[in-house]
Amino acid sequence: MQIQENVPLKNHSTMRLGGTVRYFAEITQRSEIEEAVTWAVEHQAPPLMIGGGSNIIWRDEGFEGLLLVNKIMGYEEFAEDDFNTYITVGAGENWDSVVERSVKAKLSGIEALSLIPGTAGATPIQNVGAYGQEIANTLVSIEAYDLHTRQFVTIPAADCAFGYRTSRFKTTDRDRFFIMSITLHLIKQNPLPPFYRALGEYLSTHHKGETYTPAEIRDAVIDIRSHKLPDPAKVANNGSFFANPVISAQLLPQLQADYPDIPHWPTDDPAFIKIPAAWLIEQAGFKNKHDKETGMATWKTQPLVLVNEKANTTADLLKFRDKITAAVAEKFYITLQQEPELLP
């Protein structure tokens, strides 16, 4: 393990903004973790682990700690029988390569999570989800290093407190566990309809035949996503910048009085409904908005995605964010919640 000093953080966020980190190291093997944590304690530099930086924003002030980028690789497949297969994947593996590999093996369970940027180890943090699947559906367990006990632990999925874009790793146990690997349960069976609405609509016009292989679902998701979302390798962004707000169902008639066409979906709890944040942002006047003052913009085909066109600082991004949240709050009395994490 090699420790570098004063490394620019913008290279570790797909939004490409932020100050510098005091200490920096890549972790390529499980055994390096204890060494890194001991070093961090000795140097009074709080350790923080990240993957591909696709869901984080760094403060302009930087980070006076030890940033560890997880690069632990590995992909092991264990077929229990003709139907059930388990895969254990190193946390530093590129997530989409994991999906590609499992789909090639004709395994189903994560094909709708195609093209989500970042690493396998980060998927449990916010319970990544897309097109009707989320990692909680297939996750069996996580292997992690517990910073409280300084031991490696295995955490079963049932103990992860998964919810919509959340888990215990984002809430009660934030910064406690460094994830080393994840184990998923996949099945050798074609995915069955009904599919998530946008995916079902796409398949109804693009798909011939009555069955759907995991590879066909992956291709469909890749096609939909590539038309809707910017590639973070080319355009600086963090994907959806806001979560879809969940509001009391009792508020709906009031909103409908002014906006009869307001889109909304039910949630698991009938007392609450979900409103698409993209619609609120568009209605608040931020469709394909290019803000000269901050150098930030909303993406032309998806206003939920904020893109860094010419911003120089995280302060610029946060100013643009505040313009959007204020406009939405003023018009709809709804507070948008930010999805990417502002660190440290």
Ligand X SMILES: Cc1cc2nc3c(=O)[nH]c(=O)nc-3n(C[C@H](O)[C@H](O)[C@H](O)COP(=O)(O)OP(=O)(O)OC[C@H]3O[C@@H](n4cnc5c(N)ncnc54)[C@H](O)[C@@H]3O)c2cc1C
| CA-based max dimension of the chain | 62
Distance CA 170, CA 80 (A): 32
Joined tokens for residue 317 = 């991004």
Rank residues 121 and 191 by Cβ distance to ligand X and give the closer one: 121
Residue selected from 33, 103, 116, 236 as contacting ligand X according to rule CB under 6 A: 116
Q: Is 339 a catalytic residue?
A: yes
- How many residues contact ligand X, by CB under 6 A? 32
Distance CA 173, CA 186 (A): 27
* Positions in 213-232 near ligand X (CB under 6 A): 229, 232
Q: Does the protein bind ligand X through residue 112 (CB under 6 A)?
A: no
Identify the bridge partners of residue 166 per DSSP, sorted by sequence position.
Answer: 163
Nearest approach, Cβ of 30 to ligand X (angstroms)? 11
Residue selected from 237, 298, 302, 325 as contacting ligand X according to rule CB under 6 A: 237
* Positions in 11-30 near ligand X (CB under 6 A): 14
Rank residues 8 and 255 by Cβ distance to ligand X and give the closer one: 8
Q: Is 165 a catalytic residue?
A: yes
Rg (Cα) of the chain, in Å, rounded?
A: 21
Q: Is 41 helix (H, G, I), strand (E, B) or coil?
A: helix
Distance CA 99, CA 109 (A): 9
Side-chain-side CA neighbours of 94 within 13 Å: the count stands at 7
The residue among 203, 76, 229, 61 whose CA lies nearest residue 140 is 76
Residue 211 amino acid letter = T
Identify the bridge partners of residue 68 per DSSP, sorted by sequence position.
Answer: 25, 49
Which residue in the list 165, 168, 218, 321 is annotated as catalytic?
165
Rank residues 282 and 341 by Cβ distance to ligand X and give the closer one: 341
Binding segment (CB under 6 A) for ligand X, from list 47-55, 257-265, 276-284, 325-333? 47-55
Binding segment (CB under 6 A) for ligand X, from list 127-135, 208-216, 254-262, 266-274? 127-135
Q: Is 108 a catalytic residue?
A: no
Say how many residues make up the chain: 344
Residue selected from 9, 36, 112, 128 as contacting ligand X according to rule CB under 6 A: 128
Q: Does the protein bind ligand X through residue 126 (CB under 6 A)?
A: yes
Element (H, E) at 106: none
Residues lying near ligand X in the complex (CB under 6 A): 14, 48-56, 70, 91, 116-119, 121-123, 125-126, 128-130, 178-179, 229, 232, 237-239, 341
Catalytic residues: 165, 240, 339
